[in-house]
Structure 1
Amino acid sequence: MRSESHLAAGFLLAAAASFSPASARPELKLDASGEVLAADDISIQAHKLDFSVTQGDWILDLGLGAGLYDIDYINAVFASSARLEESTVLADIAATRKWGRDWEATAGANVYDGFADYRSVWLAEYYRENWTAFPAYRAPDPRGHAFALSGVWHYTPGAGRLDAGVSFGRDWVVPAWAFDPFVGAPVSSREVLDTFSGRLGAEQALNGWLKTELTASYQSTSERDARFGVTHSWAASAGPFALRISGGYSTEDPAFDAIYGNAAVEWNFLPTWTLTTRYQLYHDTGEIASSAFTASAPALDTRELYFGLLWDRYDIALSLGVGFLEADYDPLSTENSFFGALYRDRDWVNVRAAASFSF
């Protein structure tokens, strides 16, 4: 982690030094986005503001974001309920250096404070209710940070490229708690997880209207076997229409597999308007369980139909989209029926809005 973070920090300092007052006027871009994902008992909001500055061969990106969780919580053990409201804040920075049309490199870092997903909010309340009376119990303090380095080689500028990247992250997560009869008190699972990930990708235009992209990924997290994944996508265009198809597969020993895919059609029906329709599928075999009593999710199937509308005037772009997602879990085992209110089938509605300004 130390060598990678030092490289990233040095790269970011070099980028900052290139933005001197004597330099030519930089190109500026501001992006704002908001998203709401809602079911009958859960509402999730994600908001992000990104600012980009391009000066010569350098690009500096800064981002700030916030996440909001609103959950109708039910504890099947105590037959209790509560309204949970939590928030998360995040920030990121990245610098990109280009060398002509052929090469570019990027270094970045991000940090967040708060819950990473609604599942963590639900589980934190569950463990608090069950174990707060014991002195050994500790309330969670979820947060994390990560550093990343990547590079791109445009071996045929505009038609073919190779890219590679690595990242290291450390997360303070919501641990699982269970009673240990040997110590007479609840004990927790590991609270700090380190994750190293890497990827290799290639993109090639086969002709003027068809291109393909292949990406392989690797991820290693504390106390787990490595996860490997591959994604393959195709994009074709014909007049005002574009078709994008992609599929992927991930696997992790001893018993996790996931397969996913999506297809999207884009219609540029006016010079500044584009309509997108997308359908995507996902299936996995469930999270890997380390014990009989576990908060791990069972097998999951999801389906989403999404419609989006984009107005793009080059210096200003506005978009609005809505998606309808179905999530179906396999039945929980008798040992894990405590989490029936968390891992239940849901119908979600997803609304996304974004705006981009270049000046």
Structure 2
Amino acid sequence: MHVAIVGCGQLARMMALAGWPMGHRFTFLADQGEGIDCVKGLGEIVYYTPEIELEGLALFQALGNPDVVTVEREHVNVPLLNTLKPYCSVYPDPDAIKYCQHRGREKTFLNSLGIQTAPFHLANNADELNAGVKALGFPVFVKTCEEGYDGYGQWVLKNDEDLNDLVAKADNLPEVVIEGRVDFDREVSLIAARDASGECVFYPLTENLHRNGILWSSLAPADAPAELHAKAKDIADKVLNALEYVGVIAIEMFQAGDELLVNELAPRVHNSGHWTQGAGICSQFENHLRAICGLGLGHTINSQHAGMVNLLGIEAPKEIISESNVQHHVYNKSLRPGRKVGHLNLVSDDRHTLEVKLKRIREALYKD
């Protein structure tokens, strides 16, 4: 099948690399000025122009008449994607993506399904910002409702001084969501997939470590009782079916004792699911393509323990990537502090052995 992907980053790259052995071919839609190094050589690259926004047919033809269009990011032009639906399949549905583009809309949607989130208030100006912070009490987390990722567009307010500093900038701030503090034990995520017939599959719950607001390392399956894994699947099942979702979705959560609170949804393949590439199961990238192309969903339950370490603005030294148990992925990006330029995947029959090795690699890569 011919698959068009909106975006040209590493997630688009890994989707294409998973799809080539399946016989799929790819076209990529790039914004003007967007970097294309990740997908160079993997298919035709089409640059977005105002002319192709006039009607869906123009964009459909510019993309080479694809069978299906998908996305590698949630910040896309939803109205434009909707104009493609008369000509080809668009998965996930743009209206499902719309929920995930706005943190306030997303949290309201989750609460409507009976899914817990952190307590929150929305603010459009200084008065609403002051009122929301006072209602929740310090400390609070303030995030832009749209855009913002990997620590960008986010502030931690611990006292009145922090609040006053942000209020002084309020006239230049976009709409924000103010989140109350959640006392959580750790951050976890679940990668799930649903096809157009309603079949769903779930990967094991994954535990995640972050560094400076960016995912640093993942380990799956999470060391948790069966009841917690079941709660995560129940949350994912509610979200997938309420949205009539097609494709892979990532659900980021806080674990607080026996409870799970959803932090964010990502309507796409996700960094915390990269470990699936080397775990002896159907990877999240292949399962996304299976879902959107109408193929049967693949196996998601691994018999081994699997881990991942992100390469954030650094290259992995030869002595690490030469180890027999290390699978090295690079994205063809130039180095920049904090930038995701690749990752390492590892597996082991023994969880403790894997934990020790992941820790050793993290410490060798990041000495500060």
- Relative to the length of structure 2, the TM-score reads 0.25
- Relative to the length of structure 1, the TM-score reads 0.25
Bigger fraction of residues in strand: 1
Structure with the greater alpha carbon radius of gyration: 1
